[in-house]
């Protein structure tokens, strides 16, 4: 297989060069901040007296509203978001992109869940969407009751970020790219809002085999054996489905979660595409909206991302594409050609075929579960949201030890990429010592990472100490959204990035335990909505982090990132269970940088050209008078 391979979900090694050039050209001095020895008081509030138990589940139907709107944006010349490949710019359309909104109201509270065919939600996009909702609806749709999630397609337009690292890999903050996303997401909510009517929700779950595999099994194997023994597989196979009906029992929509990367479309693709998850939506919607054009019809089918951090859809697995031999198990490198030659593919003939097969598998399983969903979801709605300074969380892990999160930093193996798309330079996964060559270049240009940050991230060899790089704007966020919404006993945990399989399992278990600890909830179903609200790369377990494959190198707040999230989400769940969400501190709000502070590196769109003897609009090839099916 020819073609350039790039980093999945981050910045490729080429971007390292690009970033370096960018820095030289602008002669920037990056401020190296020394870590402050102080830390903010823990936002954890001591559990109050157990409040009165929540009222018994109501038997009245919910009000539900579903909506879908196009958010495709310009399918030309804009970089595609995901592989961070500067050559991978949009040049056509494979499938259109949609935002799908689900609004639920129990008479006391209202919740909104949006799944959009984009790489990930960004803080900037969320803030712009919430501003637009504020203008239209006042205080109805807010930070605490709206969850925005991305399907993780790697073939949607980039350019909707406000932190420097993402702006560099997107060639800037691109107004032409973000505006259609804001408009599409808001329009999907408008449509759902206008459609609100009494309805019911049913849940079902089942397993989908043969559509995913773990792309960092060596990291997974480092988790404790007794923990691994509790699970049959090294990826989560469950599909969770919510079926929405009107009061007559007629289906009006479906929302589901499944953990797999939407990277069936490869780095060589230049067409805007919603990839496998979007294709599943297309199939179910075409099924239910008989005769309607794609993207039209009342039935809305949302396929949301989950704990897909180490989960690939390329089910034939990695091989050295030049020799056909197996890649090195530990570092995914090939004897000839290194990292670049090790690539996963399948199950189809080519990426279009693979997208079709994986999308069809997900659709078929969800449709089957939808058809048999008969467990009605009842009970009140809840939501809890906080902003957390993720550079500054202290966690008590046992009676004697506390651990801390770090200022953000990316490790060397980040630039190696994954077997779904490897980096261009000679970085390898699993690096626990830095490469003096690249460290030298980095030190000369942007300075060494501070000793505190290096120690905090150990054993990660730091490639970019993004938390100490603030020009022209911070390279990575400090303030992160943590959020849980509950529909009866279904808890949707909105995760600001890509959790690995085991991280997701630990999080679901911790949230379930807190929710059920007060006796308020029983038999809760906890789902992880990945790529929600803001993007902070990956979240591995502490044990996986030690291996420093791509996912560990991209766990930006250090080895205890997951412990910090377990603490924060448990605290939200406890507040819901004890009915004292209103006492939760809101936390420090995120910055909203002025448009004038953001930058755009994208050259102006090239002029359209034609030969002198032609006019725009000429027919190049006449259609046949008739066609046969
Ligand atoms: C986050 O915490 C760090 C470390 O205490 C502090 O330096 C920084 O100012 C905090 N950021 C915000 C936005 O509060
Ligand atoms: C990858 O690991 C193998 C041993 O498992 C080693 O022989 C090889 O040199 C490593 N490759 C790189 C590029 O580090
Ligand atoms: C607490 O955790 C630390 C770090 O994992 C460990 O070294 C220590 O033995 C633990 N202490 C207890 C009392 O479990
Ligand atoms: C990567 O390439 C540079 C320049 O060719 C070389 O100095 C360095 O040793 C290489 N690193 C590895 C790990 O092969
Ligand atoms: C880190 O510590 C070493 C030795 O303690 C010192 O030589 C070096 O200058 C320090 N580096 C930074 C960036 O502070
Ligand atoms: C236009 O000019 C090109 C050569 O410049 C020629 O090949 C082509 O046939 C011409 N087309 C028409 C419609 O005259």
Domain boundaries along the sequence of the chain? 62-382+474-533+592-597
pLDDT at 24: 36
Round to whole Å and give the CA distance between 295 and 96. Answer: 8
Q: Is the pLDDT of residue 90 over 60?
A: yes
CA 342 to ligand 2 center in whole angstroms = 13
Task: Give the active site residues.
Answer: 312
**What percent of the chain has a predicted confidence (pLDDT) above 90?**
86
* pLDDT tens-digit readout, 209-243: 999 999 999 999 999 999 999 999 999 999 999 99
What residues have CB less than 8 Å from 191, skipping those under 6 apart? 65, 66, 67, 68, 69, 101
255 in helix, strand or coil?
A: strand
608 Ramachandran zone, left/alpha/beta (phi>0; psi -120 to 50) = beta
Q: Are 359 and 374 in contact (CB under 8 A)?
A: no
Q: Is the pLDDT of residue 34 over 50?
A: no
In this structure, the strands spanning 462-464 and 98-105 are unpaired
DSSP assignment of 553-609: HTBTT-TTHHHHHHHHHHHHHHHHHTT-GGGS---PPPP---GGGS-B-PPPPPPP-
CA 470 to ligand 5 center in whole angstroms = 21
Q: Which of 38-47, 49-58, 145-154, 430-439 has the lowest mean pLDDT?
A: 38-47
pLDDT at 625: 95
426: Cα separation from own chain's centroid: 27
Report the pLDDT averaged over residues 535-553. Answer: 98
Round to whole Å and give the CA distance between 231 and 222. Answer: 14
- Ligand of minimum distance to the alpha carbon of 425: 4
pLDDT at 49: 39
Q: Are 16 and 462 in contact (CB under 8 A)?
A: no
Q: Which of 48-52, 378-382, 464-468 has the lowest mean pLDDT?
A: 48-52
Q: Which of 350-364, 371-385, 419-433, 567-581 has the lowest mean pLDDT?
A: 419-433
The mean of the pLDDT values for the chain is 91
What residues have CB less than 8 Å from 306, skipping those under 6 apart? 236, 257, 258, 259, 504, 527, 528, 529, 530
* pLDDT tens-digit readout, 488-515: 999 999 999 999 999 999 999 999 999 9
Residues with CB under 6 A from ligand 1: 36, 39-40, 389, 391-392, 478-479, 588
Binding site membership of 398 for ligand 6 (Cβ less than 6 Å):
no
Q: Which residue has the higher pLDDT, 372 or 447?
A: 372
Residue 132 sits at φ, ψ, to 5 deg, of -65, -40
Report the pLDDT averaged over residues 95-112. Answer: 98
CA 403 to ligand 3 center in whole angstroms = 11
Round to whole Å and give the CA distance between 289 and 167. Answer: 39
Q: Are 491 and 527 in contact (CB under 8 A)?
A: yes
How confident is residue 424, by pLDDT bands cut at 50, 70 and 90? confident
CA 625 to ligand 6 center in whole angstroms = 25
CB-side exposure of 142: number of CA atoms within 13 Å? 12
CA distances for 443 relative to 30, 128, 449, 473, angstroms:
11, 36, 8, 20
CB-side exposure of 467: number of CA atoms within 13 Å? 29
Binding site membership of 596 for ligand 6 (Cβ less than 6 Å):
no
Binding site membership of 413 for ligand 2 (Cβ less than 6 Å):
no
């Amino acid at each position: 297989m020819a073609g350039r391979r790039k980093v999945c979900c981050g910045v490729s090694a080429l971007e390292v060069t690009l970033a370096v050039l960018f820095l030289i050209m602008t002669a920037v001095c990056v401020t190296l901040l020394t870590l402050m020895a102080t830390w903010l008081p823990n936002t954890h509030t001591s559990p109050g007296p157990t409040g009165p138990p929540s009222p018994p589940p109501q038997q009245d139907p919910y009000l539900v509203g579903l909506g879908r709107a196009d958010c495709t944006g310009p399918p030309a010349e804009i970089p595609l978001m995901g592989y961070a490949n500067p050559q991978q710019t949009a040049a056509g359309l494979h499938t259109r992109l949609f935002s799908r909104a689900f609004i639920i109201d129990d008479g006391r509270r209202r919740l909104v869940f949006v799944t959009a065919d984009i790489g990930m939600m960004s803080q900037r996009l969320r803030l712009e969407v919430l501003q637009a909702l504020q203008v239209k609806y006042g205080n109805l749709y807010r930070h605490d009751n709206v969850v925005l999630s991305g399907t993780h397609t790697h073939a949607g337009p980039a350019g909707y970020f406000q932190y420097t690292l993402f702006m560099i890999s997107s060639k800037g903050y691109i107004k032409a790219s973000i505006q259609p996303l804001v408009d599409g997401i808001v329009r999907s909510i408008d449509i759902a809002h206008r459609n609100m009517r009494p309805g019911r929700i049913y849940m079902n779950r089942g397993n989908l085999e043969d559509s995913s595999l773990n792309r960092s099994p060596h990291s997974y194997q480092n988790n404790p054996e007794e923990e691994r023994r509790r699970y049959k597989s090294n990826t989560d196979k469950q599909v969770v489905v919510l079926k929405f009906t009107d009061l007559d029992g007629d289906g009006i929509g479906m929302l589901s979660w499944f953990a797999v990367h939407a990277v069936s479309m490869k780095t060589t693709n230049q067409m805007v595409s919603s990839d496998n998850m979007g294709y599943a939506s297309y199939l179910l919607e075409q099924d239910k909206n008989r005769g309607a054009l794609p993207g039209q019809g009342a039935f809305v089918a949302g396929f949301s991302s989950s704990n897909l951090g180490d989960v690939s859809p390329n089910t034939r697995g990695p091989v050295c594409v030049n020799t056909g031999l197996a890649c090195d198990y530990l570092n995914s490198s090939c004897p000839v050609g290194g990292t670049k030659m090790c690539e996963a593919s399948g199950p189809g003939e080519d990426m279009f075929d693979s997208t079709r097969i994986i999308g069809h598998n997900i659709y078929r399983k969800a449709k089957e579960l939808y058809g048999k969903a008969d467990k009605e979801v009842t009970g009140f709605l809840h939501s809890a949201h906080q902003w957390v300074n993720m550079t500054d969380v202290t966690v008590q892990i046992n009676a004697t030890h506390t651990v801390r999160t770090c200022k953000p930093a990316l490790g060397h193996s980040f630039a190696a990429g994954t077997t779904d798309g490897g980096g261009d330079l000679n970085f390898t996964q699993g690096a626990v010592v830095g490469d003096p060559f690249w460290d030298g270049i980095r030190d000369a240009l942007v300075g060494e990472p501070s000793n505190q940050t290096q120690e905090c991230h150990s054993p990660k060899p730091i490639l970019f100490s993004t938390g100490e790089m603030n020009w022209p704007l911070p390279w990575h966020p400090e303030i992160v959204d943590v959020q849980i919404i509950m529909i009866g006993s279904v808890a949707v945990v909105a995760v600001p990035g890509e959790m690995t399989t085991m991280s997701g399992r630990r999080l679901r278990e911790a949230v379930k335990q807190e929710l059920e600890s007060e006796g308020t909830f029983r038999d809760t179903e906890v789902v992880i909505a990945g790529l929600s609200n803001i993007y902070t790369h990956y979240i591995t377990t502490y044990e996986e982090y030690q291996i420093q494959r791509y996912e560990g190198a991209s766990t930006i707040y250090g080895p205890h990132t997951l412990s910090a999230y377990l603490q924060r989400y448990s605290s939200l769940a406890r507040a819901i269970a004890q009915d004292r969400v209103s006492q939760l501190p809101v936390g420090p709000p995120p910055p909203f940088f002025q448009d004038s502070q953001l930058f755009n590196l994208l050259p102006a769109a090239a002029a359209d050209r034609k030969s002198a003897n032609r006019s725009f609009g000429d027919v190049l090839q006449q259609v046949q008078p008739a066609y046969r099916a």
